């Protein structure tokens, strides 16, 4: 789970401007920023970057196997190979394609709808942190939340 802290003074000022439509605006803002957060994570990961910059490279053995591709087995689907060498956590695109976002209660949530994908994400996040946000991304999310509330 990702937690973002916001400047409460700005949020309170925005809420006072929102008026009677506040509950609807909060729900819309939470849905919007959760979707934005998921998009940020997906775009950054696709470019081979994590929260703190470029991902650590694959081991030489894994990179070579990935480049050549793997034959199908009972436990693994056939993979035709990836000659780019970009570390983007997307071998079969199963993990990141299960990333979802929603508003629930007073939270915007980003999660993996597939339990196996969630396990893979947790494993990958230990070596190559991708599920979270850096300071500029947090500012973008907070600004978007405020923008939706004030609208």
Q: pLDDT tens digits, residue range 30-57? A: 999 999 999 999 999 999 999 999 999 8
- Which domain covers residue 77, as residue numbers? 8-150
Q: What's the pLDDT score for residue 105?
A: 87
- Overall pTM surpassing 0.85 (yes/no): no
**Interior/surface letters 117-134, b for 16+ CB within 10 angstroms, e for the rest:** beebbeebeeebebbbbe
Please give the Cα distance from 32 to 150 (Å, whole number): 13
**81 pLDDT more than 70:** no
Task: Indicate whether 113 belongs to any domain.
Answer: yes
Task: Indicate whether 96 belongs to any domain.
Answer: yes
What does pLDDT average to over the chain? Answer: 85
How buried is 108 (Cβ within 10 angstroms: 0-12 exposed, 13-18 middle, 19+ buried)?
Answer: buried
SS3 114: coil
- As a whole number of angstroms, the longest Cα–Cα distance in the chain is 60
Task: Indicate whether 2 belongs to any domain.
Answer: no
How far separated are the first and last CA of the chain, in Å rounded?
Answer: 28
Q: What's the pLDDT score for residue 73?
A: 67
Task: Indicate whether 68 belongs to any domain.
Answer: yes
Query: What are the tokens at 95?
Result: 């993990």
The per-residue DSSP string of 25-91 comes to: HHHHHHHHHHHHHHHHHHHHHHTTEETTEEPPPPPHHHHHHHHH-B---SSS--B---TT----S-S
At 93, is the pLDDT very low, low, confident or very high (cuts 50, 70, 90)? confident
Taken in order 112, 116, 120, 126, the sign of the CA dihedral is positive
Task: Indicate whether 30 belongs to any domain.
Answer: yes
Query: How many domains does the chain contain in total?
Result: 1
For tokens 């209660």, name the residue.
Answer: 105
Lowest mean pLDDT among 20-24, 71-75, 100-104, 143-147: 71-75
Give 101's strand partners: 110
**123 pLDDT more than 70:** yes
pLDDT above 70 as % of the chain = 81
Task: Indicate whether 3 belongs to any domain.
Answer: no
């Amino acid at each position: 789970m990702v937690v973002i802290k916001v400047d409460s003074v700005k949020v309170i000022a925005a809420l006072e401007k929102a008026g009677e439509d506040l509950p609807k605006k909060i729900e819309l803002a939470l849905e919007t920023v959760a979707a934005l957060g998921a998009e940020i994570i997906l775009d950054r990961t696709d470019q081979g970057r994590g929260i703190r910059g470029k991902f650590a490279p694959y081991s030489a053995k894994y990179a070579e196997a990935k480049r050549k591709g793997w034959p199908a087995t009972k436990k693994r689907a056939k993979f035709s190979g990836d000659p780019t060498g970009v570390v983007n956590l997307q071998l079969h695109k199963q993990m990141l394609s299960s990333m979802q976002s929603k508003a629930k209660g007073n939270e915007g949530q980003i999660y993996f709808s597939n339990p196996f994908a969630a396990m893979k994400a947790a494993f990958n996040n230990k070596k190559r942190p991708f599920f979270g946000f850096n300071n500029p991304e947090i500012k973008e999310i907070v600004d978007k939340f405020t923008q939706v509330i004030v609208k």
